[in-house]
Amino acid sequence: MVDVSHKPDQIRRAIAEAVLECQPGTLRLIRQKALPKGDVLTVAQIAGVLAAKKTSDLIPLCHSLPLSHADVQFRLRRDGIHIRAEASTTAKTGVEMEALTAASVAALTLYDMCKAVDKTMTVTGLRVVEKVKE
Q: How far is CA 113 from CA 40, 78, 99, in A?
A: 6, 19, 21
Looking at the domain covering 10-133, what would its CATH class be?
alpha beta
pLDDT digits (tens, 9 = 90+) for 91-103: 999 999 999 999 9
Q: What is the pLDDT of residue 114?
A: 96
Distance CA 123, CA 14 (A): 20
> What does the domain layout of the chain look like in residue ranges?
10-133
71 is catalytic: no
pLDDT score for 124:
98
The one catalytic residue among 3, 71, 112, 118: 112
Q: Would you say residue 1 has pLDDT above 90?
A: no
For the stretch 2-58, pLDDT in tens is 999 899 999 999 999 999 999 999 999 999 999 989 899 999 999 999 999 999 999
**Numbers of helices and strands, H then E, in the chain:** 4, 4
Residue 109 pLDDT class (50, 70, 90 cuts)? very high
Residue 61 has pLDDT above 90, yes or no: yes
pTM (predicted TM-score): 0.95
| N- to C-terminal Cα separation, the chain | 23
